[in-house]
């Protein structure tokens, strides 16, 4: 059983808070290298079937009639590839439209009831650290806003595509059981669309653009997190953070060939190493962690503690105890509860350290951050004392 103690939890997080209005950010990265391969295999199979049956249908029509009927321009609703739409070179000398600010990771429980979530797809030049990237976003942030609901809530999605966009965009909610996750609503520039679903399972769910090729739309920044609380809540009250890991790529070729130039928690590499999350001494913490990918795996770990409880994919029924790390596949997630004992420094990382070195690293500081008892002593001339 967990040893979490609600009495030691803090109700507020003193630093690093940004107003709720500024909490909307999105980076949409993609998930779909394996599906691209699958799409190729399915297409190849379809060609064989079509040939054998002497049909004149294209492979997509033979392999995925429902997707074709949905009117999407790409095979398998955009999940099987599609024409290259991402910029050949993303890192640009053009003037940025704005600089990515520190993404507020603080999230709080919500009450049950109908929810309406509005997302606006935009195409912007965003300065991230030293570079300016061409990005596609939800609500001008990467990741998009952290959304929160309760099991049983009726959720209405309104998706608008900015009038100065060049491409159609859309959104696929992994928490839904709709056709294409809602991606059947493809929205042209200057238009809006809507759909509804009911959240059936608790968890930490990805949403992302579902316009072909999905790999590029996620790789360009169109993704975010929807937390669905269990009706009874996740557990004792404590500070909560939402963290999304993702990859940043310098070109469409790098997206296709999986060569990230940097990695990030919440869109900006190393932002919480530069501005640590500060908590009182002995705080319990609950982290909602999702891996947006599009193509890499996260090995989430917090240095200096052990996870009391981990809910894989965010569902409390998928609980395990005393964990050091959780492998999080692209679009996977977890809820992590832990205690930051005493006062000290607690880095959070992907323990796949080539990615931590590229920016998937952050820091929590409890109390004054100074270490507790213990330290280095001089061993003396004879090597012991």
Separation between Cα atoms, residue 332 and residue 240, nearest integer Å: 19
Cβ of residue 51: shortest distance to Cu ion, in angstroms?
A: 34
- Closest to 205 measured CA to CA, from 227, 188, 189, 184: 227
- Name which of 107 and 211 has its Cβ closer to Cu ion: 211
**Tokens 């996260």 appear where?**
298
What is the C-alpha R_g of the chain?
A: 22
Residues 6+ apart with CB under 8 A from 289: 204, 243, 244, 245, 298, 300, 326, 328, 333, 334, 335, 336
Binding segment for Cu ion among 9-17, 100-108, 127-135, 215-223 (CB under 5 A)?
215-223
- Name which of 23 and 217 has its Cβ closer to Cu ion: 217
Q: Cα–Cα distances in Å, from 175 out to 28, 122, 327, 370?
A: 17, 23, 20, 41
Sign of CA dihedral 201, 205, 211, 215: negative
Cβ of residue 358: shortest distance to Cu ion, in angstroms?
A: 24
Stretch 171-210: interaction string toward Cu ion, x if CB under 5 A: --------------------------------------x-
Torsion of CA 117, 120, 125, 126, to 10 degrees: -10
**263: β partners:** 247
- Name which of 209 and 365 has its Cβ closer to Cu ion: 209
Binding segment for Cu ion among 108-116, 168-176, 233-241, 341-349 (CB under 5 A)?
168-176
Among 222, 227, 292, 363, binds Cu ion (CB under 5 A): 222
Cβ of residue 186: shortest distance to Cu ion, in angstroms?
A: 9
Cβ of residue 121: shortest distance to Cu ion, in angstroms?
A: 6
Binding segment for Cu ion among 174-182, 218-226, 244-252, 337-345 (CB under 5 A)?
218-226
- Name which of 302 and 330 has its Cβ closer to Cu ion: 330
Phi, psi torsion values for 271, nearest 5 degrees: -65, -35
- Name which of 124 and 169 has its Cβ closer to Cu ion: 169
The verdict on 139 binding Cu ion (CB under 5 A) reads: no
The verdict on 211 binding Cu ion (CB under 5 A) reads: yes
Cβ of residue 90: shortest distance to Cu ion, in angstroms?
A: 14
Element (H, E) at 133: strand 131-138
Measured between its terminal Cα atoms, the distance across the chain in Å is 42
- Name which of 211 and 350 has its Cβ closer to Cu ion: 211
Binding segment for Cu ion among 70-78, 163-171, 308-316, 361-369 (CB under 5 A)?
163-171
- Number of residues binding to Cu ion, judged by CB under 5 A: 5
- Closest to 334 measured CA to CA, from 309, 314, 308: 314
- Name which of 46 and 126 has its Cβ closer to Cu ion: 126
Element (H, E) at 256: helix 252-257
Separation between Cα atoms, residue 339 and residue 235, nearest integer Å: 14
Binding segment for Cu ion among 79-87, 167-175, 176-184, 353-361 (CB under 5 A)?
167-175
- Name which of 133 and 307 has its Cβ closer to Cu ion: 133
Query: Shortest Cβ contact with Cu ion: which residue?
Result: 209
Interface with Cu ion in residues 326-355 (CB under 5 A): none
Among 23, 25, 169, 358, binds Cu ion (CB under 5 A): 169
Separation between Cα atoms, residue 385 and residue 380, nearest integer Å: 7
Which positions lie near Cu ion, rule CB under 5 A? Answer: 169, 209, 211, 217, 222
């Amino acid at each position: 059983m967990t040893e979490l103690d609600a009495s030691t939890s803090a109700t507020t997080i003193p630093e690093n808070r940004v107003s709720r209005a500024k909490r909307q950010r999105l980076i949409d990265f993609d998930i779909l290298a394996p599906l691209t391969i699958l799409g190729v295999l399915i297409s190849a199979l379809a060609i064989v079937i079509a040939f054998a049956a002497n049909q004149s249908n294209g492979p997509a029509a033979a392999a995925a009639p429902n997707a074709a009927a949905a009117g999407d321009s790409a095979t398998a609703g955009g999940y099987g590839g599609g024409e290259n739409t991402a910029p050949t070179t993303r890192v640009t000398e053009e003037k940025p439209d704005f600089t990515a600010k520190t993404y507020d990771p603080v999230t709080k429980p919500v009450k049950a009831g109908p929810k309406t979530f509005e997302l606006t797809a935009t195409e912007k030049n965003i300065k991230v650290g030293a570079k300016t990237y061409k990005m596609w976003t939800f609500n001008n942030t990467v990741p998009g806003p952290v959304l929160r609901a309760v099991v049983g809530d009726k959720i209405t999605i309104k998706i608008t595509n900015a009038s100065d966009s060049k491409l159609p965009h859309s959104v696929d909610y992994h928490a839904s059981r709709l056709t294409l996750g809602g991606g059947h609503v493809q929205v042209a520039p200057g238009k809006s669309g809507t759909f509804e679903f009911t959240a059936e399972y608790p968890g930490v769910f990805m949403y992302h653009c579902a316009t072909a090729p999905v790999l590029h739309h996620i790789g360009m920044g169109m993704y975010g997190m929807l937390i669905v609380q269990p009706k009874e809540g996740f557990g004792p009250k404590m500070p909560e953070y939402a963290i999304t890991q993702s990859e940043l790529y310098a070109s469409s070729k790098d997206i296709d060939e999986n060569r990230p130039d940097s990695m990030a928690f919440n869109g900006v590499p190393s932002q919480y190493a530069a501005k640590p999350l500060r908590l009182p001494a002995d705080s319990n913490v609950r982290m909602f962690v999702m891996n947006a990918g599009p193509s890499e795996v996260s090995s989430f770990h917090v240095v200096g503690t052990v996870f009391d409880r981990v809910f894989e994919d965010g569902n409390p029924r998928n609980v395990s105890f005393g964990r050091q790390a959780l492998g999080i596949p692209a679009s996977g997630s977890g809820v992590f509860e832990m205690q930051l004992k005493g006062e000290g420094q607690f880095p959070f990382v992907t323990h796949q350290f080539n990615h931590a070195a590229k920016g998937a690293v952050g820091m929590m500081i409890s109390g004054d951050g100074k270490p507790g008892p213990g330290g280095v002593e001089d061993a003396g001339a004879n090597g012991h004392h």
